[in-house]
Amino acid sequence: MVPLPLALPFAELEVGQQFYWQLGRLHLHGQVFLSSWVVIGALLALVVLGSRKMERDPRGLQNLLEFLWTYIRDLAREQIGEKAYRDWLPFIGTLFLFIFVCNWGGALIPWKIIELPNGELGAPTADINTTVAMALLVSLSYFYAGLSRKGLRYFEYYVEPTPIMLPFKIIEDFTKPLSLSFRLFGNILADELVVAVLAFLVPVIVPLPAMFLGLFTSAIQALIFATLAANYIGEAVHEEHH
Amino acid sequence: MTSWLLLATADAVTGAASRSQEGGLFDLDATLPLMAVQVVLLTFILNALFFRPVGRAVEEREGYINTSRAEAKQKLAQTERLAADLSEQLRGARQDAQKLIVEAEQEADKLYREALATAQAEAITVREQARRQIESEKEQALASLKADADRLGALIVDRLLAA
């Protein structure tokens, strides 16, 4: 636990505390999985309820789901391109929806009422493991997208427009997942910390603007992550016109 | 960020001593691959439950709207063609009617002229006849008058000479 100067009794701030699960010789962050299951459950419930009866004249939740679908489709189509976006739509959409519900779930669900022996529940995206996992998935998928669409010609991308670009493009392959994961992780963790510190110092009203700002940031971060993932995939499948 | 990093590492160092387990902000462990597996699974589940059915519904509706619009356009074109056709027919009918009216008028005029001509000719012949009759009657009357005058003259002469 981080020793804060004001150790008031009514609020506690824990950073870097994990609720460990032991799986054989593996250590797991239990609080991340617990909260991710809750938000995944909420997401699946929404999807199942909304798509139970699809009609030509949409009503109720179907409207919301169709709005989300067209929103994600437009995002993927714009970034990946008309030809390949269909294959990657579910992946991009899942990233967007999962990150979005994680961020908002972390901010809106009153996790504090559930006591854990160690650590605390929060947004799963405030844990570096989650964001690195998704960023690595993005890396894998853009490599896969490029290789499956263009074969070995994919590596031409590294020497275009000139071979001088080669080292930079190789470095890019490392910085892409790094920046993706740290951006999301940092934003969400910082938001949680700001709200927690404010709530810790002044428990009433003052944290509210920070909370609203946090909701806004959370949504933007989900959009940024999904857009960048789609953009990387689009870059990999993009055909140069010679 | 740096201070948090420092705090986190410091925490990890002290925590390791006290808890025999490491912690901290940048604690990468088996959570990572399992979370990746979880996200991949979620992708497949959402694809089956959300992206495919909703996408099908949306695209079916788009197709329905497109075909409906195309049909409506076709019908509109057909209607316009029919309307043009009908107005063409109407114009033809009007021209026919106009022609018929003109013909009928000409016919009537001709008939009127013919009737007038025959009537005039008849009137002329009748007048001529009447004039000739009057002429002959006048001549007859004059002739008989002359004969009477001659006879009277002869009678007067006879009487006067006899006396």
The pLDDT assigned to B109 comes to: 96
Q: What backbone phi and psi angles, to 5 degrees, belong to A239? A: -95, 125
Q: Do A51 and B40 touch (CB under 8 A)?
A: no
Q: Tell me if chain A has a CB within 8 Å of the CB of B53.
A: yes
Mean pLDDT of chain B: 87
The pLDDT assigned to A83 comes to: 86
The pLDDT assigned to B20 comes to: 41
Which of A177, A174, A98, A167 is CA-nearest to residue A135?
A: A177
Q: What backbone phi and psi angles, to 5 degrees, belong to A57? A: -95, 100
Q: Tell me if chain B has a CB within 8 Å of the CB of A134.
A: yes
For residue range A178-231, what is the model confidence (pLDDT) as tens digits?
999 999 999 999 988 888 888 888 878 888 888 899 899 999 999 999 999 999
pLDDT class for B23, splitting at 50, 70, 90?
low
Smallest Cβ–Cβ distance between A90 and the set B28, B33, B51 belongs to B51
pLDDT tens digit at each of 242 positions of chain A: 445 444 444 445 667 777 888 887 888 888 889 999 999 999 999 999 988 887 777 888 888 999 999 999 999 999 998 888 989 999 999 999 999 999 999 888 888 788 777 777 888 898 899 999 999 999 999 999 999 988 888 888 888 778 888 999 999 999 999 999 999 999 999 988 888 888 888 878 888 888 899 899 999 999 999 999 999 999 998 876 65
CA atoms within 13 A on the CB side of A95: 31
The pLDDT assigned to A6 comes to: 47
List Cβ neighbours of A172 (8 Å cut-off, separation of 6 or more): none
Smallest Cβ–Cβ distance between A130 and the set B12, B35, B45 belongs to B35
Enclosing H/E stretch for A66: helix A61-80
Give the 3-state secondary structure of residue A69: helix
List Cβ neighbours of A217 (8 Å cut-off, separation of 6 or more): A187, A191
Smallest Cβ–Cβ distance between B25 and the set A20, A28, A128 belongs to A128
CA distance A230 to B98: 74
Q: Do A16 and B21 touch (CB under 8 A)?
A: no
Q: Domain-by-domain residue ranges, chain A?
A: 20-237
Provide mean pLDDT across the span B108-127: 96
The pLDDT assigned to A1 comes to: 46
CA distance A217 to B153: 160
The pLDDT assigned to B17 comes to: 38
Report the predicted TM-score, pTM, of the whole model to 2 decimal places: 0.74
Enclosing H/E stretch for B44: helix B31-46
